[in-house]
Amino acid sequence: MSQREISSETKLPPQATGGTAKRTSRESGLPPEALEALRGQVRGALCLPGEPGYEAARTLWNAMIDRHPAAVVRAAGAADVIRAVSVASRHGIDLAVRGGGHNVAGNASCDGGLMIDLTPMKSVRVDPAARTARVEPGVTLGELDLETQAFGLATPTGINSTTGVAGLTLGGGFGWLSRRYGLTVDNLLSADVVTADGALIHASEQENPDLFWALRGGGGNFGVVTSFEFRLHPVGPEVLAGLVVHPLSRAREVLQGYREIVARAPDELACWGVLRKAPPLPFLAPEVHGTEILALAICWAGELEAGRQAVEPLRKLGTPIGEHLGPAPFVAWQTAFDALLTPGARNYWKSHDLRTLSDGAIDVLLDHAGKLPSPECELFLGQLGGAVNRVPATATAYPHRDVEFVVNAHGRWREPADDARCIAWARSLFDALAPHATGGVYVNFMPEDETARIQGAYGPNYGRLAQLKAKYDPENLFRLNQNIRPAS
């Protein structure tokens, strides 16, 4: 292999360089001979710029992120991860780890360093008798659901089927099943982790329990997880789910009524609010399409007849302009919002945790829902509580066990010319909502520029996490994340 084949021209973001810069693998700290040796050692593939697989691996869900690693290891198993981590550590280069590539901050890629692409690692092994699943880190939520639902089982994950299991889990993980069964990390039984020194460690309540604690919400700070073991629960295969849609002009009274109903709701019921412009849903009149709406997204994960009674108060709120609610396969409901969260759009998010949905908070939400800067921008009001809040704040690295609602401003658009306007909208909502919020934040919803909020993301657990970071990653090899710096 020639020097010319190994070298690459990497286009860096103009905002970082003032233009286009050239970088070679040697300039990034990866000597050609190290890359050639690594290529011969991995069972998967080593991809350099211009080679098959490179573009697909480096292209992330958030189109605002355009980074060019010097090389990508498309890992086939834990051994490939060990070798890639060892090379990055030995040469002191940036190391990015891609699971689903869905994180809004775009930390799954880097410029000039080494990227580990876990997407080829797709194994899911379900033990229906033990109600457990062993899951590799390249699996998406939809792929996990397809396997577990074959046995009428599931574990709580998120609401977008294309999200990667790995990143969602390491940040905490919540969705339609969380009020009944807790966070994703509350259902994590064990994990195999490649640490910064290239060791493969098993972490559970019995083995390396301090690392296991840190993995349950500490993000990618402590290593590369090559296998997750989850507890499964009986779910479906049908749930009672769907949408009840109201015009934005009636959203205040609906949200005030919603607030009272969900405060008394059983754990089986989750109801999220979505404020956005109406997509062309077939059950909405054509004249509604493109107008501002409040959609109540409802999921009852229990016995269907009991669910019909439980959702009735939500159905009777106000005078809906459209409804599509009934029994549905859980795997289908898990894809309900996929069309609103497809890859290829530019995304900037801002998020707050709320203990209560106060009138003041409702005012802020409605004000900004009336000023959506693009047709794809939206506000998500996620309902938590239930089983999530019956876990002590210090039991896992994820600390937010007193939160009833999570507000996420999805700034989402297509053209770079709209960046400033859409980002300003999300930041304006964030500032206006701050007096009504806890000060905490879900780490998976943080954009790249929120490093000042990292201690708030971990609250009382930050100090312990920094100590464990010093133990397991003292040189901060795993720093391309919402980074917890090692305690000095």
Residues 6+ apart with CB under 8 A from 21: 10, 11, 12
As a whole number of angstroms, the distance between CA 25 and CA 48 comes to 9
User: What's the half-sphere exposure (Cβ side, CA atoms, 13 Å) at 139?
Assistant: 26
**pLDDT at residue number 2:** 30
Among 359, 354, 457, residue whose Cα is nearest residue 404: 354
The full length of the chain comes to 488
As a whole number of angstroms, the distance between CA 405 and CA 355 comes to 6
As a whole number of angstroms, the distance between CA 46 and CA 32 comes to 12
- For the chain, the domains span 3-117, 124-234, 238-451
At the second CATH level, the architecture of 124-234 is 2-Layer Sandwich (3.30)
**pLDDT at residue number 350:** 98
As a whole number of angstroms, the distance between CA 455 and CA 395 comes to 17
Burial grade of 22 (CB within 10 A; 0-12, 13-18, 19 or more): exposed
Q: 238-451: which CATH topology? A: Vanillyl-alcohol Oxidase; Chain A, domain 3 (3.40.462)
- DSSP H stretches of helix in 285-417: 304-315, 330-333, 359-369
**pLDDT at residue number 22:** 35
> Crossing angle of helices 359-369/251-263, nearest 10°?
140
Q: What is the mean pLDDT of each run of 10 residues along the chain (488 residues)?
A: 28 31 49 93 97 96 97 98 97 97 96 97 98 98 98 98 98 98 98 98 98 98 98 97 98 98 98 97 96 98 96 96 97 95 96 98 98 97 98 98 98 98 98 98 96 96 98 98 96
CATH number for 3-117 (one of 3.40.50.720, 3.40.1280.10, 1.10.3720.10, 3.30.43.10): it is 3.30.43.10
**pLDDT at residue number 29:** 74
Residue 133 has a CB neighbour count (10 Å cut-off) of 26
As a whole number of angstroms, the distance between CA 36 and CA 142 comes to 36
**pLDDT at residue number 28:** 63
Residues 6+ apart with CB under 8 A from 174: 156, 158, 183, 184, 382, 384, 388, 406, 442
As a whole number of angstroms, the distance between CA 265 and CA 465 comes to 34
3-class DSSP state of 148 = helix
As a whole number of angstroms, the distance between CA 140 and CA 335 comes to 12
